[in-house]
Amino acid sequence: MELSALVSQLSRVGKTASKRLAYLGVNIVKDLLYYFPFRYEDYRTMVPISQLQHGQMVTICGQVQLIANKRSFKRRKIITEALVADKTGAARVVWFNQPFIIKNIHVGDVVYLSGKVQTDMLGPQLASPTYEKYKKDPAHTARLVPIYSLTFGLTQKQIRSLTNQVITLAGQVEEWLPKEILEKADLTPLSDALRGIHFPADDNDLKQSVERLKFDELFLIQLKAELSRLEKSGIKAPKINFKEAEVRSFVSSLPFQLTKTQKISAWEIFQDLEKSAPMSRLLSGDVGSGKTVIAAMAMLNACLNGFRSVFMAPTEILASQHYNSLIKLFGDKFSVGLLTGSQFAIHNYKFEEKSQAGQKKEFFKKIGDGELSIVVGTHALFSEGVEYKKLGLVIVDEQHRFGVEQRKTIKEKGRGVHFLSMTATPIPRSLALVIYGDLDVSIINELPPGRKKIITKLVEPAKRDKAYQFIRDQVKQGRQIFVVCPLIERKEDEAEIEIINYPANPSNEKKSVLSEYEKLSKNIFPDLRVGYLHGKLKGKEKERIMSDFKNGKLDLLVSTSVVEVGVDIPNASVMMIEGAEGFGLAQLHQFRGRVGRSIHQSYCLLFTHSDSVKASERLSFFEKNNDGFKLAEKDLEMRGPGEVYGTEQSGMMNLRIAQLNDRELIKKTRELAKETAVDLEKYPVLNKKMKDWEKSVHLE
């Protein structure tokens, strides 16, 4: 068997199972080795049956004396009962609703049983223990047992057995870290680490394996960052001087005072612009923290120095929103243009040409001649073969929303000019250092004073009708409502399965929006104007629906997470979220940020079907906290960075195992990456690994 063999070639993997594995990103044998457990069950304590004590987590080893299925009258459940004996005594064992067990274990078999002991008058009993026939190297019992994230229809045992089947192939995985680094960082060989992460021999083996695999992830990210820094180091950008008097006068003309961190961020940007090395900065600030005005100040400064700016947003609606904001801020001080896939305009300018085509030509000529100080738009800004004259500054809002190809273009066009990227995803500084190793980061971590707090409520299922009544009242008062649906449709009988890292499945996403739309528009609010939005709709269609909603032609908008980003619908006052447990806190926070953008008191209503403790802990934390940074930290702690920051955003997407609180390791990898990057050519294996990795993570 080869590492590159498809998992469907393994024994007991059929079509269905391989499809499910593919959901988890496991397609080939090597993926299995890299599908790491997220925790371990400690079943190492072997106890003779006579010494079993109530409440202990133990493993016993004994011979099956009896085993049979029985039907319980009341619950119509099937109970499997067994009696297992060793030299010291016998214990009763029960399993619920797993009648197939009698096909796997027979009288006379010697088995391991791992689980919790319960004693009653009849003596000790194990309820629903994990079982495994006796063998020298057990995988499911009598050891530190790996527990994996699952998806529907897969079990721990299945994944564990498969991993166990291929674990010896870990020896074939190529060691790509140079010897020097292995020695300097005192790391375990890769093949040992891959073995140890799944089936650790002991605590120390586990610790070293984890350390090695964390190192790998962080090191690649840091190395990549170091390489892009090196690549950029020779490139120059025009110096843009800080025009203090004019900037001050602009700031004092604003109807508000800048917050402290807005001021600091602006200052950091002005400092960068004055250098001849291009600025490469990320401005991170919660929804509504006032990033646009900071972008405007940077563009103002560029304009005053005679340079042109480009301001790009991921959707047409956002682009026109920014266009209008800038016109409000600058009036007629500078000529501002708008360019998206479907529209172009120049503020307060009358085109000489009559025809649409003629005007478009005229528009492009003005850009080419450098007559527009600022052009706002979507990726059309760069994809139409537009040439910019005297371009000094490129600002991109929510860059991670752009596709891979688009980000590549942005990067190319952004070469040799100052570059500012903005994001509303709150990023703790520790994380920013890892994800954006090659960017400098400014953080606005406060909201302007006096914002109305959005009232957040987790709604019990019994109160759903009341919530609908409340929504109706809000619509009567002229407000509009968002309804966000979960990524996945969850079936009742699957509720018990552990679901973590369940990847989004676009067709389910669509399904759940459509069924919710049906329900709301036909049964609950037949008299209201209800629309729907999901990722599978065409771009134009999406824009049309959003602008209908914005213009008040719809009362309710049922949508997937596509409404997450930056749209401003001041009249919307309720954000209702179905299946809230399926979203990360940072993402829920983005949804919540869609409302509360005007004088109207706004509400965020959460609905959940889950009664898992973890889910309710997260949601009640969300109910009580309005600070995006706090939520992001909590999310990181509970779900890890890949989940929080999405798979498209950065190299972080491949963080399966490293943590942000691994500060020492981050420091160590950073130092070693710096040393290594300057003569990477000396290490051909590492060099190749780096290239493969870049391909696999689609870094921009």
- Tokens 């006796």 identify what position? 134
**3 state SS for 140-153:** CCCCEEEECCCCCC
Contact call for residue 265 and ligand ADP (CB under 6 A): no
Residues in contact with ligand ADP, counted by CB under 6 A, come to a total of 15
Count the Cβ atoms, other than its own, within 10 Å of residue 9: 12
Q: How far is the CB of 289 from ligand ADP (least distance, A)?
A: 4
437 binds, among Mg ion, ligand ADP, none (CB under 5 to 8 A by kind): none
Give all strands of the β-sheet with 572-577 in edge-to-edge order: 455-458, 603-606, 572-577, 480-484, 556-559, 530-533
Contact call for residue 448 and ligand ADP (CB under 6 A): yes
Q: How far is the CB of 447 from Mg ion (least distance, A)?
A: 13
Q: Which of 163, 208, 222, 262 binds ligand ADP (CB under 6 A)?
A: 262
- In this complex, which beta carbon is closest to Mg ion, that of residue 62 or of residue 566? 566
Q: What is the contact mask toward ligand ADP in residues 142 to 181, using x (rule: CB under 6 A)?
A: ----------------------------------------
**Any idea how long the chain is?**
700
Contacting range for Mg ion; rule: CB under 5 A; set: 184-192, 276-284, 491-499, 565-573: 565-573
Q: Shortest Cβ contact with Mg ion: which residue?
A: 566
Q: How far is the CB of 571 from Mg ion (least distance, A)?
A: 18
What percent of the residues of the chain are helix, what percent strand, and what percent coil, each to the nearest 5?
A: 45, 20, 35
Q: Which of 62, 278, 285, 377 binds ligand ADP (CB under 6 A)?
A: 285
Contacting range for ligand ADP; rule: CB under 6 A; set: 151-159, 264-272, 281-289, 546-554: 281-289
Contact call for residue 531 and Mg ion (CB under 5 A): no
The Cα–Cα gap between 191 and 209 comes to 9
Contact call for residue 426 and Mg ion (CB under 5 A): no
CB 233 within 8 A of CB 226: no
Contact call for residue 566 and Mg ion (CB under 5 A): yes
Contact call for residue 292 and ligand ADP (CB under 6 A): yes
Q: Shortest Cβ contact with ligand ADP: which residue?
A: 290
CB 321 within 8 A of CB 480: no
Q: Where are the alpha helices (DSSP H) in 4-69?
A: 15-23, 29-33
Q: How far is the CB of 285 from ligand ADP (least distance, A)?
A: 5
Count the Cβ atoms, other than its own, within 10 Å of residue 341: 16
Q: How far is the CB of 291 from ligand ADP (least distance, A)?
A: 3
Q: Which of 410, 424, 585, 588 binds ligand ADP (CB under 6 A)?
A: 424
- In this complex, which beta carbon is closest to ligand ADP, that of residue 164 or of residue 259? 259
Residue 48 phi, psi dihedral angles, 5° rounding: -65, 145
The Cα–Cα gap between 279 and 439 comes to 9
Q: Buried b / exposed e across 139-157, counting CB within 10 Å, b at 16+?
A: bbbbbbbbebbbbeebebe
Contact call for residue 258 and ligand ADP (CB under 6 A): yes
The Cα–Cα gap between 219 and 434 comes to 10
Q: How far is the CB of 677 from Mg ion (least distance, A)?
A: 34
Q: Which two tokens stand for residue 482?
A: 């968002």
Q: How far is the CB of 696 from ligand ADP (least distance, A)?
A: 32
Contact call for residue 287 and ligand ADP (CB under 6 A): yes
The Cα–Cα gap between 141 and 59 comes to 7
Contacting range for ligand ADP; rule: CB under 6 A; set: 73-81, 171-179, 282-290, 540-548: 282-290
Q: CA 35 → CA 147, 219, 375, 434, 593, distances in Å? A: 11, 19, 46, 22, 35
Contact call for residue 267 and ligand ADP (CB under 6 A): no
287 binds, among Mg ion, ligand ADP, none (CB under 5 to 8 A by kind): ligand ADP
Handedness of CA 670, 672, 675, 676 (dihedral sign): negative
- In this complex, which beta carbon is closest to ligand ADP, that of residue 287 or of residue 577? 287
Q: Which of 130, 149, 163, 259 binds ligand ADP (CB under 6 A)?
A: 259
Contacting range for ligand ADP; rule: CB under 6 A; set: 12-20, 250-258, 368-376, 510-518: 250-258
Gyration radius (Cα) of the chain, Å? 29
Binding positions for Mg ion, rule: CB under 5 A: 566
Binding positions for ligand ADP, rule: CB under 6 A: 256-259, 262, 285, 287-293, 424, 448
